Structure 1
Amino acid sequence: MKWFANLSTPGKLLLAFGSMLLILGAVIVVSYQSISNITGSFKSVHDQQFTIAIKLHELRAQQNYIRGQVLEMILTLDKVNQQKIEKTIDERSSLVEGIITNLSKLNLDSKSLSQLNELKSHLTAYRQIRDQQIALIYEGKREEAEQIALQTQDDNFEKIRSISAEMGARAEDEVDVVIAQNQLDAAKAIQLCLILGGVAFVFGLGMMFLLHLTMASPLLEISAIAARIADCDLTTTVAATDRADEMGAMTQSFKRMTDTLSNQIREITDGVNVLASSSNEILVSTSQLASGAVESATGISETMTTVEEVRQAARLSSEKAKSVADSAQRVVQVSQTGKKAVEDIVATMLHIRDQMEAIAQTILQLSEQSQAIGG
């Protein structure tokens, strides 16, 4: 069983269908041989025994007709009619000779051949005496011809009939034997075909069971597992197998897939648990932040009040600053006027300085001259 399970799928199918084809081939061969044997036997019977029986029946019929024609010729007084009857007798005698020739060409056994030779001799004797009868009839000696017909020819005719009847009966018996043998062979062939058919049927049932057990059943199990996985049931496990065929490889691959999915689900579950724990911590922090936000909102409200007051003060300061700016503008204008005056004064002062330097230089020169004079 295990060796069959380890076979590849093509190997299983080849073994199953190949075995069935072999059994079917055996049935065909047996049937063909039986039919060929029966056909050959019937052909042999037809070519031999049937031919013998038919030809001998025909020979007896021709001999009966010839005998009757001879008797009719004895009773006929008209020469013309006697000649017509003689011609008919000669034609039928030729047919009898043809029958003997055809029988001689057959593959006869020794007994039949001996009887055929004996039959030939009696036919020859019968023909010779018949020729004598015809001569007597033409001579008008009908009583002598009739006497020969009732004595000598009657004995020859009876021997011819007896020999031909015996040969025909034996040929018919051989036909019956061949037919019986053919029937027996046909019965044996039918019995053998039935046995092979029964073996093929049982073998086919066994192969169906094995194929179902090794191929269909694992596929059904994997299909059921796949359906449960499709329904989000990831707790399903696939049993390990040591099969070496395609079904084993597919089962192992499916097992790895389910194991991988289970591991991923387990990791996701662990991650979700960590995420839940972090969410709780974040919730606590958020609660704390919410409390701080409430306090901040209170502080912001107070700050807004202060800001409003500052805004009012800023507005007053802005108005005062505007007034100061106007004053400063006027101061700037005055300053610019004063700056110009200062610049004029500075220029005048620079001019005065230059003059003072010139005066000082002059004084120095005068001093030097005074010193020079005093010296």
Structure 2
Amino acid sequence: MLRLKNIAVGIKLVVLIIILLGAVVTVGLTSYHGIRLLEALNRQSEQQQETVRSMAVAERAHETVRALVFRALVAAHTGDTTELNATGEELPTVLDSMTGTLETLGTASLEQETKDTLARIRPDVTAYLAQAQDLVTLAQRTDRAKAVEGISQFRDTYTKAGEGLQELGLLVRGGTSFMTAQSEDAAANATKNASTVFTIAAILAVGLGWAITRSITKPLAKMTKAASRIADGDIVQQIGHISKDELGTLADAFRELIAYIHGIATAADTVSKGDLTVRIAPKSEQDVLSRSFARMVDTLREMNGRIQDGTQVLASSISQILTSVSQMATSTHETASAVTETTSTIEEVKHIARASNQKAKEVAVSSQQTASVSLGGEQALERAAAGMRRIREQMNSIADSVIRLGEQSQTIGGIIDTVNALAEQSTLLAVNAAIEAANAGTHGKGFAVVAREVKNLATQSRNATAQVQHILNDIQKAANIAVLVTEQGTKSVEVGVEQSLEAGDSIRVLSQNITEAAHAMTQISASSEQQLLGIDQVAYAMANVQRATSQNAEGVRHIEGAARDLQSVGETLKELAAQYTLARNGLR
């Protein structure tokens, strides 16, 4: 078995095939020899059988000749010419058949004793045939006397020839039995020899075949079992087969494969423990697994380096984000405080605007009253022509009215100053609101529109108050003139009619101015209403800004919490990346 291990598998198979072919050839040759022997014996047996048949023909011919002779004699005695002629024609054929049979027996392969017996009885048979021919010839010639004389001699010859043929038949038949027995023995020996050779060849073929097959299949079975376990993940396998044939080469390749897989597994285990400094050297240019594993380790090393750099950048960015978020939170709180203060200021402005609106309404009412007074003065002037006697009293009344008008004009002037101050404050408030709206960004767009409207209303208020101031100046001038007129009226009643007419004109102008002043105050009141509405809208917008600021503050707090969570994730990622060793010097 040890020697078989060192023989190549191809040679083993060739040897096995040669052994099988040798066994087949041996069995074939043995069978061929037996078949040739059987054929020879068969040919001898056939010749012997032919000899036996020839002997039988000779024996039948011996009896037939005797019968023909007696038929001829009877026919001659009875005078049956036809029968006699037929017998004469048939006898030569039988004689020729018997003569040919004897000649055939003489040429056959017979034993020497049989040949000697044949040679000894042949003259007797020939004499017997000659006498038969003579007797038939005498019968045909109707020579009865000679024929009767020859019958006694013919009987002796017949008996002698019959005894000789009988002896020869026994020898021939005995030789046939011997040949048959010899053929059977030869067939039995051939079969026995073929069986023996076949058995020996089969045993040798099976034994050597089993040994060769065992030397091939046993290592293959072990290596197949090891390969199955390797396929199941159990790479700790031992291949103990060592030989110099192909199976030994396959076993060496298996051992190298196990060592190769074990090396890859060890490297993978090292990588799984965080050591990325492992190096895999490819076995050859076709070593796809080692090259792929090396690329994977390089990629992991590069990715880990990038992750470590990224975690550092992430930590720095998160710190900056936290700083920015803290600043944003502070700014948001400051903005919320500013919005709260602005809301309080707007509430105060709202109260002031309401007071201004109330004053404007009162001024409008006073203007209406002044207009009514002016209308009364105009009516008094119309009645002046009819009642100059009451001029003095009316002039005094007019003086009083003018004085009250001056006082009311001064009051209106104070209210106008207040409205101008409110308008200036509204303008400043609108400017501040526009600035805050710009700082608020998207949430301050609506507030910017409201601030612009408040600014427009403040501008309209300044224009209206300027116009009212101009009208009040005219009223004051007219009042001064009226005072002078009334003073002159008291001094000079004589010129009352002319002065009444002049006063009537002045009163009419004054009435028109007062009517215009009343109209202007109505506009101021309406503007104050609109300004109050605008301030309400500003207050509502500031409330929205305050809510948005609160929401921004809450969002900033959420962002700060998310940034801190992100910082925690970055620290965790940094710790995970730090678990991998990127170089032998410990750099990570």
TM-score, length-scaled by structure 1: 0.70
Aligned-pair distance for 1:290?
9.7
Structure 2 counterparts to residues 188-203 of structure 1, below 5 A = 188-203=189-204
Q: What amino acid sits opposite 2:260 in the alignment? A: T
In structure 2, the residue matched to 1:152 is: 153
User: Which string of whole-angstrom CA distances, capped at 9 and with x for unpartnered residues, describes residues 59-84 of structure 1?
Assistant: 11112111111111111223343233
Contact 1:56 1:165 (8 Å CA) reproduced: no
**Structure 2 Cα separation of the partners of residues 229 and 194 of structure 1:** 50
Identity %: 16
Aligned-pair distance for 1:248?
0.8
**Structure 1 Cα separation of the partners of residues 82 and 325 of structure 2:** 167
In structure 1, the residue matched to 2:44 is: 44
In structure 2, the residue matched to 1:88 is: 90
**Structure 1 Cα separation of the partners of residues 52 and 322 of structure 2:** 139
Structure 2 counterparts to residues 319-330 of structure 1, below 5 A = none
**Structure 2 Cα separation of the partners of residues 292 and 135 of structure 1:** 157
Aligned-pair distance for 1:144?
6.0
Contact 1:52 1:168 (8 Å CA) reproduced: no
Alpha carbons of structure 1 residues 274 and 73: separation in structure 2 relative to 1, 3 Å: same
Q: For this pair of structures, how many residues does the alignment match?
A: 307
**Structure 2 Cα separation of the partners of residues 82 and 292 of structure 1:** 155
Alpha carbons of structure 1 residues 195 and 114: separation in structure 2 relative to 1, 3 Å: closer
In structure 2, the residue matched to 1:257 is: 257
Is 1:60 aligned to 2:59, yes or no? yes
User: Which string of whole-angstrom CA distances, capped at 9 and with x for unpartnered residues, describes residues 293-345 of structure 1?
Assistant: 88766544444467788xx9xx99xxxxxxxxxxxxxxxxxxxxxxxxxxxxx
User: Which string of whole-angstrom CA distances, capped at 9 and with x for unpartnered residues, describes residues 102-129 of structure 1?
Assistant: 2233344443333222222112322333
Alpha carbons of structure 1 residues 110 and 188: separation in structure 2 relative to 1, 3 Å: closer
User: Which string of whole-angstrom CA distances, capped at 9 and with x for unpartnered residues, describes residues 252-286 of structure 1?
Assistant: 101101011112211221232234999xxxx9999
In structure 1, the residue matched to 2:563 is: none
In structure 2, the residue matched to 1:165 is: 166
Contact 1:53 1:169 (8 Å CA) reproduced: no
In structure 1, the residue matched to 2:179 is: 178
**Structure 2 Cα separation of the partners of residues 23 and 262 of structure 1:** 49
**Corresponding residue SS for 1:274:** coil
Aligned-pair distance for 1:172?
2.0
Q: What amino acid sits opposite 2:157 in the alignment? A: N
Contact 2:65 2:95 (8 Å CA) reproduced: yes
**Structure 1 Cα separation of the partners of residues 209 and 105 of structure 2:** 60
Higher relative contact order (CA 8 A, sep 6+): 1
Structure 2 counterparts to residues 265-280 of structure 1, below 5 A = 265-275=265-275
**Structure 2 Cα separation of the partners of residues 104 and 294 of structure 1:** 135
Contact 2:131 2:154 (8 Å CA) reproduced: yes
- The RMSD of aligned alpha carbons is 3.6
Which consecutive residues of structure 1, in runs of 5 or more, have no partner in the other structure? 317-375
In structure 2, the residue matched to 1:106 is: 108
Contact 1:240 1:252 (8 Å CA) reproduced: no
In structure 1, the residue matched to 2:244 is: 244
| Aligned mate of 1:121, from 123, 146, 155 | 123
Is 1:10 aligned to 2:10, yes or no? yes
In structure 2, the residue matched to 1:233 is: 234
Q: What amino acid sits opposite 2:160 in the alignment? A: K
**Structure 1 Cα separation of the partners of residues 153 and 172 of structure 2:** 29
In structure 2, the residue matched to 1:71 is: 70
Structure 2 counterparts to residues 335-350 of structure 1, below 5 A = none
Which consecutive residues of structure 2, in runs of 5 or more, have no partner in the other structure? 278-300, 302-306, 339-434, 437-588
Aligned-pair distance for 1:91?
2.2
Structure 2 counterparts to residues 199-214 of structure 1, below 5 A = 199-214=200-215
**Corresponding residue SS for 1:53:** helix
Q: What amino acid sits opposite 1:157 in the alignment? A: Y
In structure 1, the residue matched to 2:218 is: 217
Contact 2:4 2:212 (8 Å CA) reproduced: no
**Structure 2 Cα separation of the partners of residues 60 and 167 of structure 1:** 10
**Corresponding residue SS for 1:234:** coil
**Structure 1 Cα separation of the partners of residues 128 and 268 of structure 2:** 121
Q: What amino acid sits opposite 1:37 in the alignment? A: L
**Structure 1 Cα separation of the partners of residues 55 and 315 of structure 2:** 136
TM-score, length-scaled by structure 2: 0.46
Q: What amino acid sits opposite 1:264 in the alignment? A: I
